[in-house]
Structure 1
Amino acid sequence: MQPQAPQPVLGLPRRANPLLGQPEENRRRGARPRRLPRASPSPEPLTGPAPGRDGAVGGRGAEPGRGPGLGPERGPGPGSGSGLGAGPGPDGATAPPAAAMAAPPQPPVMAAPQPAPPPPARRCRPSAEPLLFLATLSLGLQGPLATQYLWDRLGAERGYSGPNGSSPAGCGNGSGGPDPLRQEVEALVSRWNLYINLGGFFVGLFSVTLFGPWSDSVGRRPALVLPAVGMAVQAAIYLLVMYLQLHVAYFLLGRLLSGLLGDYNLILASCFAYVADTSDKRARTFRVAVLEACLGVAGMLASIGGGQWRKAQGYINPFWLVLATSLAAALYAAFCLQESVKQQKPAKLLTLSHYKAVYRLYTAPEHLSSKRKLALYSLAFFLLVTVHFGTKDLFVLYELGSPLCWASDLIGYGSAASYLAYLSSLGGLRLLQLCLEDTWVAEIGLISNISGLVVISLATTTPLMFTGYGILFLSMAATPVIRAKLSKLVGETEQGALFASVACVEGLCSLVATGVFNSLYPLSLHFMRGFPFLFGAIILLIPAAIVGWIEIWDSNPEYSHFSDASLSPADG
């Protein structure tokens, strides 16, 4: 006969509760249970009694109680089910708060995550456009006014009033033939322009390539302040010549001093380098076009205002504005413009390493194909800018002479029309980029340039001359495309050296343009006055062929494979 398991008998002492560590009999005799802090009532009301541990009914939830250590036997007594308090057990004793102890611990209350700090307010960063606008306004006022002043001074010394006199009838003698005295004055003005431009640009050719790589180390701001100060010095010397009636050779001195400090070409190159520092490759073409559009706006205002102002008050007051805008450009670069070079370091200025940096850019590129493209795009840029500089210098002389015989107000309108091509080219570039690659936009710009120069070379009336200016409405769309393509061929750390080389090319362009076109114009007066413009249109066929050939070469898979296969470790 097997012994039966002892059954719980009412009134007998119970075993020690393993959870509490003391017999429940002692608890009934006087040991009061430790009171726990009352929890907040449950949001959901209990629907029925829930038995607790040891047969006591109470506590949270419908949790089955256990017998006195003998198995999972439910307690028979009804419980209050009212939360964490102890209810009476079946023997009349107060049950301990075992349900509260058996309840799972509440998870710690996590602090609410702090909201992310708002992004810093985006501040408007000063850009290079206002600086280039001021410098171009100064140059746009100075160029035509200086040429007209030379015409008046040299013509007065030889007894010729010229078209800038009180009557435009001085343009011809009324017999239909050319005036020998007028042709002599034209040749003298062209020759002095040649001397001034040759001296200034020859000095600037070396100073720009010196200051450009130097700005990669010390920053762009010094390379922007110095040429602006040089332009102010040149304007001050021009004012002294006009006030004191000094010899026109002092114009050459002012240009040389400005060239020593970089001249306008260094401002142009540093501004493009600044844009390359602060823009990505996708938007660089349009950013360069916006920068060049500032050239058009400033030049247009200078041409219209300068011509009317000179007609009303002479030469001195407009040249005071030239001085003021040059000084304003220098102050803006010194105190308002933020530095775009991230890692600045001191560097010597007078060293050959700056010239070597420009030389290595073309002789030791990363890939052989990059070297070829750099050379070809630089050649196309050289020819395009040479024609642009050369024809621009001759526009005023061409309009002053017979048969156009323009006065100063028409000269101002003509210069404004030529500068308007910058704005129209910007709009055309933006629209054509929606459906064409940048290369074909440049080709359309070159076609516009060629057609306009051909019409101007044949212009004998004022309406036909302005028609030629109108056809040039997309002529400036090619230069920003070529600049952007050159910039994309080099790394991010070589942008300064690249635009220094572009500045070197531009200085060489001015040197060649001044020597070729200003020498060609006096020679062509006897058979075709517009021949230099026709010559420039023929030259522009070469960059059109270069740009188109590179695009076809890159788009053809066979040519691209050949170009990649031609790479060698020795090449780069």
Structure 2
Amino acid sequence: MVKGTIGSIFSVIICIFIGPWSDRFGRKPVIVANLIGFTLSAILVVIYCFFDKLSPWYLAVCSLPETLTGGFATLFTMIISYMADTSTEDNRAMRMVVFEAVLTVGSLMGAIPSSYVFYLTSYQAIFGIAAICHIIAVVYTWFFVPESVTNAETENKVGEFFILDNVKDMVKVAVKKREHSKRAVICLCVGILTVYIFIINGNTLTFQYLREKFGWTLTRYTIFSSIESVVWTIGSFLATYILHKVLKVTESVLILVGCISMLNTSLLFALARSNAVIYATPAVKILGSLISPMVRTLVSNMVDHEEVGKLFSLINSSEFLLGIGAGPLYTLVYNKTLDTDAGLYNYLSAGLFGLMILMIGSVISLQLKSSIPTTIYEQLDEESESTAATGFQSNAPTGH
């Protein structure tokens, strides 16, 4: 817990500075350095596993390379920024969905076979495989991933990193005045994503809840969780393609639908009295997969190209920083209500999803207010021009 908390805080600090810096000097150097940090940490863990009597505190030392290079917060920020750089408004949403789907599939590919590999081999083999995967990622990124920032600066890279102007620029992206209420929309979207990640980070008690209330085993939960992830991934692809690409449903409406889907899922978990209700939740939850990619697509479409890194640094820093307190809060609620009903903590998630619905409702309202007047005025102008032309024709002298 200490290792995770300290690492998360330091990663957030790096993330705050790295976004504005990468807008000027490029995304690729950060991604490569970050992957090298993960690789070195994985190698150190392999070495640690060869010594049975070493204190667990040495694991904190093993995590130093990945922490000092920004951790997952920085890697996530850079990849999202890279995709925003290399995509258009037409294909950005689908790319965001693909990215999050790949994360889900990758997690499954690692989680499902890892226990079997461990039983057949050892800890050294498990972490050795992880180190090899990181090395492959470094090599692939170095040789095959082009830089996405055009005309990236090359001078004084190190000296321009830890300067307060980077933080000021990051904050300005969110608070500077923009036309069509974009500033308010961006701030609301930052809030939506922050609350959403807070729920995801805190809501890790599903197995304990199902074991306590329905007597589930870890094997049963693993199978259920895997099926849920597959349904989630397939649903995100189909929903994005059909609703967004084909039917042209806007990002904000899809976010609203996703929030309602997740709210209903939380209520089902809270009210469930049988396994059948739990088995139905993946189908209800399926559109919740749209929330994160659609919010990121919406905000990236509202800022200039050179502001993308700053914006996602702000978003991801907020997510990871507030996410630190999510686990303790949910655990506290779960422990306090366990004797009454193991599922009562789900009402906390439901309430937060309700808050997200209010925020995305405000976004939709702002978008309507900024677009409707223009349309009305255009229609009035056309009608007045048409009336004037008709009146002129009726009053014009006729020849005999």
8 A contact 1:277–1:341 mirrored in 2: yes
Q: Which residue of 1 aligns with 2:198?
A: 386
Separation (CA, whole Å) in 2 of partners of 1:317 and 1:467: 38
Of 85, 93, 96, which aligns to 1:285?
93
Unaligned residue ranges in structure 1 (runs of 5+): 1-191, 562-572
Q: CA deviation at 1:376?
A: 1.0
Q: Which residue of 1 aligns with 2:242?
A: 431
When residues 368 and 512 of structure 1 are mapped into structure 2, their CA distance, relative to the original with a 3 A threshold, is farther
Of 419, 425, 437, which aligns to 2:229?
419
| Number of residue equivalences | 366
Separation (CA, whole Å) in 1 of partners of 2:113 and 2:274: 24
8 A contact 1:453–1:537 mirrored in 2: yes
Q: Which residue of 1 aligns with 2:128?
A: 320
Unaligned residue ranges in structure 2 (runs of 5+): 375-400
Separation (CA, whole Å) in 1 of partners of 2:177 and 2:258: 29
CA deviation profile, 1:72-115 (whole Å, cap 9, x unmatched): xxxxxxxxxxxxxxxxxxxxxxxxxxxxxxxxxxxxxxxxxxxx
Separation (CA, whole Å) in 2 of partners of 1:464 and 1:288: 31
Q: CA deviation at 1:475?
A: 1.5
8 A contact 2:93–2:240 mirrored in 1: no
Q: Does 1:268 align with 2:268?
A: no
Q: Which residue of 1 aligns with 2:51?
A: 244
Separation (CA, whole Å) in 2 of partners of 1:440 and 1:216: 30
Of 209, 213, 219, which aligns to 2:20?
213
SS in 2 for 1:531: coil
CA deviation profile, 1:512-569 (whole Å, cap 9, x unmatched): 32342344444444433333333112201111121122213322469757xxxxxxxx
Q: CA deviation at 1:317?
A: 3.0
Q: Which residue of 2 aligns with 1:299?
A: 107
- Which deviates further from its counterpart, 503-512 or 311-320? 311-320
More helix by share: 2
Q: Which residue of 2 aligns with 1:477?
A: 290
Q: CA deviation at 1:307?
A: 4.0
When residues 278 and 558 of structure 1 are mapped into structure 2, their CA distance, relative to the original with a 3 A threshold, is closer
Q: Which residue of 2 aligns with 1:502?
A: 315
Q: Does 1:370 align with 2:179?
A: no
Q: Which has the higher contact order (CA 8 A, sep 6+)?
A: 2
8 A contact 1:304–1:413 mirrored in 2: no
- The two structures have a TM-score, normalised by structure 1, of 0.58
Q: CA deviation at 1:253?
A: 4.2
CA deviation profile, 1:2-44 (whole Å, cap 9, x unmatched): xxxxxxxxxxxxxxxxxxxxxxxxxxxxxxxxxxxxxxxxxxx
Q: CA deviation at 1:240?
A: 4.6
Q: Which residue of 2 aligns with 1:177?
A: none
When residues 224 and 519 of structure 1 are mapped into structure 2, their CA distance, relative to the original with a 3 A threshold, is farther
When residues 557 and 264 of structure 1 are mapped into structure 2, their CA distance, relative to the original with a 3 A threshold, is closer
Separation (CA, whole Å) in 2 of partners of 1:234 and 1:243: 15
SS in 1 for 2:89: coil
Separation (CA, whole Å) in 1 of partners of 2:4 and 2:360: 29
When residues 353 and 332 of structure 1 are mapped into structure 2, their CA distance, relative to the original with a 3 A threshold, is farther
SS in 1 for 2:97: helix
Separation (CA, whole Å) in 2 of partners of 1:337 and 1:209: 24
When residues 521 and 228 of structure 1 are mapped into structure 2, their CA distance, relative to the original with a 3 A threshold, is farther
8 A contact 2:269–2:278 mirrored in 1: yes
Identity %, equivalent residues: 19
When residues 311 and 528 of structure 1 are mapped into structure 2, their CA distance, relative to the original with a 3 A threshold, is farther
CA deviation profile, 1:230-270 (whole Å, cap 9, x unmatched): 32333344445544343434444444542321111222111
Q: Which residue of 2 aligns with 1:227?
A: 34
When residues 305 and 558 of structure 1 are mapped into structure 2, their CA distance, relative to the original with a 3 A threshold, is closer
Q: CA deviation at 1:276?
A: 1.0
When residues 197 and 453 of structure 1 are mapped into structure 2, their CA distance, relative to the original with a 3 A threshold, is farther
8 A contact 1:404–1:462 mirrored in 2: no
8 A contact 1:295–1:422 mirrored in 2: no
Whichever of the two has the greater Rg, that structure is 1
Q: CA deviation at 1:333?
A: 1.9
Separation (CA, whole Å) in 2 of partners of 1:376 and 1:321: 41
8 A contact 1:213–1:358 mirrored in 2: yes
Q: CA deviation at 1:312?
A: 4.9
8 A contact 1:455–1:464 mirrored in 2: yes
Q: Which residue of 1 aligns with 2:395?
A: none
Separation (CA, whole Å) in 1 of partners of 2:9 and 2:63: 10
Q: Which residue of 1 aligns with 2:382?
A: none
- Which deviates further from its counterpart, 471-480 or 551-560? 551-560
Separation (CA, whole Å) in 2 of partners of 1:228 and 1:451: 38
When residues 283 and 328 of structure 1 are mapped into structure 2, their CA distance, relative to the original with a 3 A threshold, is same
Q: Does 1:198 align with 2:5?
A: yes
8 A contact 2:212–2:342 mirrored in 1: no
Task: Kindly provide the amino acid, as one letter, of the partner of residue 238 in structure 2.
Answer: G
Separation (CA, whole Å) in 2 of partners of 1:380 and 1:542: 8
Q: CA deviation at 1:313?
A: 4.5
Task: Kindly provide the amino acid, as one letter, of the partner of residue 15 in structure 2.
Answer: V
When residues 289 and 558 of structure 1 are mapped into structure 2, their CA distance, relative to the original with a 3 A threshold, is closer
CA deviation profile, 1:420-466 (whole Å, cap 9, x unmatched): 21332121121122333322222221222222233334557765544
SS in 1 for 2:201: helix
Q: Which residue of 2 aligns with 1:455?
A: 268
Q: Which residue of 2 aligns with 1:357?
A: 169
- Which deviates further from its counterpart, 268-277 or 297-306? 297-306
Q: Which residue of 2 aligns with 1:534?
A: 347
Of 301, 304, 314, which aligns to 1:491?
304
CA deviation profile, 1:257-314 (whole Å, cap 9, x unmatched): 4232111122211111111111112322222122222112212222322244345546
8 A contact 1:424–1:474 mirrored in 2: yes
Q: CA deviation at 1:383?
A: 0.8
